[in-house]
């Protein structure tokens, strides 16, 4: 299992030390939540802030876009060379085209599903994806309570992944703690 702590929970006045601390503590990826104030009712950070994060981090970045205009944000963040770049299926009319674009930029493409979105909606995209991110809270804010039905959803997704693309990872985002991590691993 990989661990990707989100910088949304960091002290932004001390970002460099916070990033170094999670890297030294043994995280695998640094998760970056990008919100545009349109797709979700919150605003976070742009490349001006993520660039120093990238410099401070000894681990690859995992950028999670929660935005309306995915193409624009992919162009903004691609120069920072994250390992993963994920966008929400709910905000994209041409997901297949965007996946190809992200891969052509040398970045691993990932798709995110809101808690209400069916895993079957992305079945025919799985072969082209390196990761699927399941939201286990409503996107927009840190520190929310884990939605338990995501466990059942992860099981369904795992079945589809076995069939379509066994190398595809499942990421779970929101309310993950020592209380549910064993169940998620199983
Ligand atoms: Zn996230």
Active-site pick, 36, 62, 130, 173: 173
State in Å: Cα 4 to ligand 1 middle: 9
Residue showing tokens 């950070």? 45
Task: Give per-residue pLDDT as tens, 77-124.
Answer: 999 999 999 999 999 999 999 999 999 999 999 999 999 999 999 999
Name which of 67, 60, 25, 77 is nearest 131 in CA terms: 60
What is the H or E stretch that residue 132 is in?
Answer: strand 131-135
Distance CA 142, CA 33 (A): 10
Q: pTM for the whole thing?
A: 0.96
Active-site pick, 11, 28, 33, 75: 33
Distance CA 112, CA 135 (A): 7
Contact 140, 40 (CB under 8 A): yes
State in Å: Cα 165 to ligand 1 middle: 23
């Amino acid at each position: 299992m990989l661990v990707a702590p989100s910088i949304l929970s960091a002290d932004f006045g001390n970002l460099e030390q916070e990033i170094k601390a999670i890297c030294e503590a043994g995280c695998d990826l640094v998760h970056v939540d990008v919100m545009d104030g349109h797709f979700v009712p919150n605003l976070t950070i742009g490349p001006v802030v993520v660039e120093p994060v990238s410099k401070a981090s000894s681990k690859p970045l995992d950028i999670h876009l929660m935005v309306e205009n995915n193409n624009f944000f992919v162009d903004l963040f691609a120069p920072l060379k994250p390992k993963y770049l994920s966008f929400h299926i709910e905000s994209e009319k041409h997901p297949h085209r965007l996946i190809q674009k992200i891969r052509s930029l040398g970045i691993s493409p990932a798709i995110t599903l809101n808690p209400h979105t069916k895993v079957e909606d992305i079945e025919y995209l799985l072969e082209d994806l390196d990761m699927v991110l399941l939201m286990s809270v409503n996107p927009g804010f840190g520190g929310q309570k884990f939605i338990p039905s995501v466990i059942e959803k992860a099981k369904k997704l795992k079945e589809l992944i076995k069939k379509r693309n066994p190398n595809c990872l499942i990421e779970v985002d929101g309310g993950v703690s020592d209380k549910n991590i064993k169940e998620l691993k199983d």
